[in-house]
Amino acid sequence: EKGLRRALHQQEFHLLYQPQYDLQTGSLVGAEALLRWRTQDHELISPDRFIPIAEKTGLIGPIGEWVLHTACQQTKKWHEAGAHSLRIAVNLSAYQFQRTDLVDTVDLVLKETGMEGNCLELELTESLLMDHAETNILTLTDLKVRNIVLSIDDFGTGYSSLSYLKNFPVDRIKIDQSFVKHLTERPSDASIIKAIIAMAHSLKLKVVAEGVETEEQLEFLKRHNCDEAQGYYLGRPMDTAAFCTLLEQGGIST
């Protein structure tokens, strides 16, 4: 906790950006912002290790705000440089979502950075949505009014009820990496993916596949009309400079 407090004040956090591609056109359409912590002694700590502590101590509040602000500020610069409709996805933790001031924070960040709501995507998890389902609908509706894109991260792994898909105003589903991982050798994973895509499309939701590591996985997803994909095969999470180079190389979707 002490380390995390210091990290906030000493600017030990930074964001990496992982590209997301449209599978029909092949163009780069968005990025997911992923938080990294490099400590004073240059140790790199993964978010899976420090986010739970940040949540427990409430520090995820200011940390999450920093992530949102930094990601929007950077994306606005990319928009101004020509990548007009590039979308940025930011992960939200349950603690942030349940704070009553989430919508105010989002409003403030959009105003301060000049970012348009329709280029900001917020990634929520199934368990986050399932707790306090009633109040969540109100928050989600407030965010939708601002044209913010809402997606469900790690879909298929949480303890949840599918009824929220018809009740909540979400736009996108991100198929969890665990299904993609063994997709070519496990017929059951392939079937689950096909079923998720079919269900999502009939509910008018877009589908993004996470953790695409091989050409075979990519071909399968394309063949079964998955809308977008991200993963090491397409591009690792990278720093701002590397992402700028990627944008300059083309593949900018306008």
Binding site for Mg ion (CB under 5 A): 91, 123, 153-154, 210
- Give residue for tokens 């739970």: 52
Q: Using CB under 6 A, which residues numbered 52 to 111 contact ligand C2E?
A: 64, 67, 91-93
Distance CA 40, CA 6 (A): 10
Which of 190, 211, 221, 243 lies at the binding interface for ligand C2E (CB under 6 A)?
A: 211
- Beta carbons within 8 Å of 140's beta carbon, 6+ residues apart: 150, 168, 169, 170
Tell me: does residue 126 bind ligand C2E (CB under 6 A): no
Length of the chain: 254
Residue 48 binding result from Mg ion, ligand C2E, none, given CB thresholds of 5 to 8 Å by partner type:
ligand C2E
Which of 126, 154, 227, 228 lies at the binding interface for ligand C2E (CB under 6 A)?
A: 154
Residue 19 binding result from ligand C2E, Mg ion, none, given CB thresholds of 5 to 8 Å by partner type:
none
Tell me: does residue 232 bind ligand C2E (CB under 6 A): yes
Tell me: does residue 19 bind ligand C2E (CB under 6 A): no
87 CA to centre of own chain: 10
Q: Are strands 149-155 and 172-175 parallel, antiparallel or unpaired?
A: parallel
Closest to ligand C2E by CB, 107 or 213: 213
Tell me the torsion sign for CA atoms 187, 192, 194, 195.
positive
